[in-house]
Structure 1
């Protein structure tokens, strides 16, 4: 008996909760208008996200294409890149309209057969009139090579903290190396042909002497 009463009370509570929920429902026209507005806002938001996503994909594709073109043109291929930024602006600088930022860059890559790693630091100072940037640190890490000229170029670029000098010197070195390799291959083939002709003539002379 007690179990039945408990079940009845539970059913009554459930019915009361449903009635309360029904009384709080909006009128049909109010619900329709609100749902329509909510749908439009959601659709517009999704449309903007989709357009933004398409723009990002298009921009990314353009950047990849441009990077591939530059790699083909210069021979440089950047594999890894990382950047850290530190704001050194003080309260006094802010009051004077000055902003001081340090950027730390790290990258690795190759120029044809030569691999390298670069770590450099750039100090940027921006005022109301202009913006100045200067490389304050430059470390170049390269695999040991038999070419002393390349090591000298690297040391000079590090000493002067000149990135342009490094890339230009490495590019010219690689072009010189490729030209030297082609020249060596050309003369090697010529020498083999000359050697073959010389041996063939010697054999011909020997055969003629034997026949005579």
Structure 2
């Protein structure tokens, strides 16, 4: 290792934040293996903060021990049911709140443009067979809707839920029929938010999450 290649100092909190963001961004899929050595080399940091960060991921239940590292945890049947039940309630609230804010004139026009762009990105990535890109775009759209609700507690709760669900989403985006359904349902949610119809937005999102839960079984 040359002088310029020496690992730069980093805290475990910084490494943890980077790794944690990758879960919600669908960077990882269930079963992906993570090692201290590979992560340290990628981030150009020493292995000590990586080891501590992985310990926190283990405590979060996002990874499980494996030979010479950890693997991204898969959801068992009960975890999946529990997470999607919570997700349905939270995302239904987020969509309804975003619609209420739109009706009150509190959503900037650019927000609606961003929601439609995000929905289009899911459709485009899916049509091209780019599963991970589609999963990332899907996660981005749902979190943008949560941000449009302008409720920090709701956003934090949904972020924790999405960290667990996003890794499973990658493996379920190879079903063409489901991908087409996702695109249609996203449009329904965004249309309802744009129209300022809170009841329709909640119903469309709740239906979307219920269908997603069935797909993840």
Please confirm whether the aligned pair reaches a TM-score higher than 0.5, indicating the same fold: no
* Shorter-normalised TM range: under 0.3
Q: Which has the higher strand share?
A: 1
Rg larger for:
1
TM-score, L = length of structure 2: 0.23
Name which structure has the greater RCO, CA cutoff 8 Å, separation 6+. 2
More helix by share: 2
Structure 1-normalised TM-score? 0.24
